[in-house]
Amino acid sequence: MTDELIWPEHMVSRDDMRAWLSTVLPGHPRIAAEVTPLRVKRWGATGVFVADGVPVVGKHTQPALYPGGPAVHRFVQDVAPHAVAPLLAAQDGPGWQRTAFGLVEGPTAEARGPASRVEVALALAAIQVAAADRSAPGLPVYHLPDLVDDLIADVRAVDYQDPSLAARLFAAAETLHAYAEDLVAAVPVSVDHCDMNETNAIIPDHGPVVILDWEEATLGCPLLSLSRLLQDAADWQDKITEAYAQGWQPWGDVRALIERANVVAPVKSAHEARAYARALAWPAPYANHERQTARMLTLALDRLDALTESRY
């Protein structure tokens, strides 16, 4: 047994990726034979290739789960070029999408420890404030109340959830919708990072924090991005939240809105997980990604209960 990642030759060969990189990168560089896989999943793989001695990150997705991903990344790169990995190339093919990025060196927030997420929260807020209410035609966008309602209706229609959890969800449906409406009314539309975990932030010894994986992001309620960063943050959650709120000060005091966003965010995550499973053509009951749905709904409802109790 080994924990070493293996490039998925059955999906896309290293030679095909090397040929593609040589074709799309400026100067048509020579791509070394070896690749260092970074991530291998059902949808494809990401790895570090070497182009004329310079490391680049190549990503192949199949199917193209996030077709608007390169456009979202370009949007964020235009807003905050210092805080994202440079997008070098992107191409869509029959049933796949490929992208190439400059490699950002440095330890991740995971390697730095939970305290480093304070810096990440500040960097995330700065990007979102800079992107708020900017014109971005053609980028993927969601309307939060509709998304919440769709998830609840989906669970009602067909599901494999524990009846007690489903009952809690249905009892909270009106409140969840109201929270979503409040957020839409009070928070400017900006970029919402769907997977702001500690491995998606690079914190160099010198220089700004760099946030990765914007391809899954969408335009919507940006405050929902914080929820993922708070998970498993132990005693640092309050400091992370405070740093994020400080970053949003140009738009006013968002602390109360963050509380509501942290309730709604796992509902959105459940909705995304189900869309992901169906895009990969998982059969029932996996088409409902029931385990992730259960985890996210439990988190959302527990947060709602805690927020309600704190007010009495």
Point out the residues of the chain with pLDDT beneath 50. 1-2
Same domain for 272 and 134?
Answer: yes
Same domain for 74 and 222?
Answer: no
Count of domains for the chain: 2
Pairing of strands 96-102, 190-192: unpaired
Residue 5 located in a structural domain:
no
Alpha carbons 14 and 60: distance in angstroms, whole number: 11
Same domain for 117 and 261?
Answer: yes
CATH of the domain at 159: 3.90.1200.10
Alpha carbons 195 and 265: distance in angstroms, whole number: 11
Residue 1 located in a structural domain:
no
Annotate 87-131 with DSSP letters as a single string.
EEEEEEETTEEEEEEEPPPS-BHHHH-GGGHHHHHHHHHHHHHHH
Residue 2 located in a structural domain:
no
Residue 60 located in a structural domain:
yes
Taking the whole predicted model, whether its pTM rises above 0.85 is answered as yes
Residue 6 located in a structural domain:
no
Residue at a domain's end among 40, 69, 102: 102
Same domain for 177 and 58?
Answer: no
Domain membership of residue 191 as a residue range? 109-310
Residue 26 located in a structural domain:
yes
Alpha carbons 30 and 21: distance in angstroms, whole number: 9
Residue 19 located in a structural domain:
yes
Same domain for 255 and 133?
Answer: yes
Same domain for 76 and 185?
Answer: no
Residue at a domain's end among 102, 122, 137: 102
Same domain for 84 and 22?
Answer: yes
Residue 4 located in a structural domain:
no
Same domain for 168 and 133?
Answer: yes
Calculate Rg over the CA atoms of the chain.
20
Residue at a domain's end among 74, 102, 130: 102
The enclosing H or E element of 272 equals helix 255-279
- Two tokens at 196? 């702001």
pLDDT of residue 83: 94
pLDDT of residue 159: 72
Read off the pLDDT of residues 83-107 as tens digits, 9 standing for 90 and up: 999 999 999 999 999 999 999 999 9
Same domain for 294 and 212?
Answer: yes
Pairing of strands 218-220, 87-93: unpaired
Annotate 154-168 with DSSP letters as a single string.
HHHHS----HHHHHH
Annotate 119-184 with DSSP letters as a single string.
HHHHHHHHHHHHHTT---TTS-B--HHHHHHHHHHHHHHS----HHHHHHHHHHHHHHHHHHHHHH
Query: Which residue type, as a one-letter code, is found at position 5?
Result: L
Pairing of strands 210-211, 44-51: unpaired
pLDDT of residue 2: 39
CATH of the domain at 88: 3.30.200.20
Q: Are 84 and 212 in contact (CB under 8 A)?
A: yes
Same domain for 148 and 236?
Answer: yes
Same domain for 95 and 115?
Answer: no
Same domain for 277 and 164?
Answer: yes
Place of tokens 């048509």: 28
Phi, psi of 101 (to 5 degrees): -130, 155
